[in-house]
Amino acid sequence: MRMRELEKASGVGRETIRYYIREGLLPEPDRVSRNSAFYSDDHVSRLRAIKRLQEERFLPLAVIRSLLEAEDGERWLAPEVFPMLDSMLAARLGDGAARVPVETLAELLGKGSDAVAHLSAIGMISVDGDGMVTARDVAIARCVKELGEIGFTGELGFVGEQMRMYLDFIEWVTNQEMRLFFERTAGQVGEARALDMAERGVSVVNDLLSQLRTRALLRKLGERRRVANDNS
């Protein structure tokens, strides 16, 4: 597209566009001659991102440049990207709630402090310096206890291996989710919108993963049965 088309598509004037190019905020256009240049959809997207970061986040151009120049895999780590999102999301999801003494958790598990120490050692829960745990830690411990009551403990030895598998999976999938979320939303939506998306997304994705896991489990069991029948 020509400059006039870029101006119309982005809502940014040509003098500002030329300034951004000189400052390295925009890539150079394709030039077929000294006075003829063509711009791409990438220029439109970049200009819209710059405009949002200025108007909604009031970020200086130097900070905007660092965000735009960052590698995709590292952009989400930049502290300027939604600086209040973590604390606001934690408050909405209940992580700012009152903490529980670790002794209370030990009583809940019914196995004393050794059980709490084990869960803490493998990373299932976190005990702070004051010997307190969060309500979410308590909920996790309840799940582990229920698994034990079902029979996934003791001589069968399910829980230790299962917990490590779950922890590794959650660490990996959460890291991927965060990268995708920040890379796709930074400079595209305001922080209030990002907060709402993150809060609602946590619940929906939890439900989605539950349904996908159940479906996959039933499918695998069906495949196992078919293989057994074919071999009989």
Taking the C-alpha atoms of residue 34 and residue 9, their distance in angstroms, rounded to an integer, is 23
pLDDT in tens, 67-119: 776 544 455 556 667 888 888 998 888 876 678 898 988 888 886 778 888 88
pLDDT value, residue 217: 93
First-to-last alpha carbon distance for the chain, in angstroms, is 66
pLDDT value, residue 200: 95
Over residues 178-202, the mean pLDDT reads 87
Is residue 12 helix, strand or coil? Answer: coil
Q: Which residue has the higher pLDDT, 224 or 68?
A: 224
Count CB neighbours of 137 within 10 A: 22
Is residue 32 helix, strand or coil? Answer: strand
Residue 135 to residues 91, 97, 127, 139, Cα–Cα distance (Å): 13, 7, 12, 6
Q: Which residue has the higher pLDDT, 99 or 187?
A: 99
Q: Which domains does the chain have, with CATH numbers?
A: 3-69 (1.10.1660.10), 85-231 (1.10.1660)
| 51-55, 81-85, 106-110, 215-219: range with lowest mean pLDDT | 51-55
Instruction: Give the rounded percent of residues in the chain with a pLDDT score beyond 90.
Output: 23
- When the pLDDT of each residue in the chain is averaged and rounded to a whole number, the result is 83
Over residues 48-71, the mean pLDDT reads 73
Instruction: Give the rounded percent of residues in the chain with a pLDDT score beyond 70.
Output: 87
Both tokens assigned to 113: 């402090």
Identity (one letter) of the amino acid at 39?
Answer: Y
Residues 6+ apart with CB under 8 A from 63: 53, 80
pLDDT value, residue 46: 85
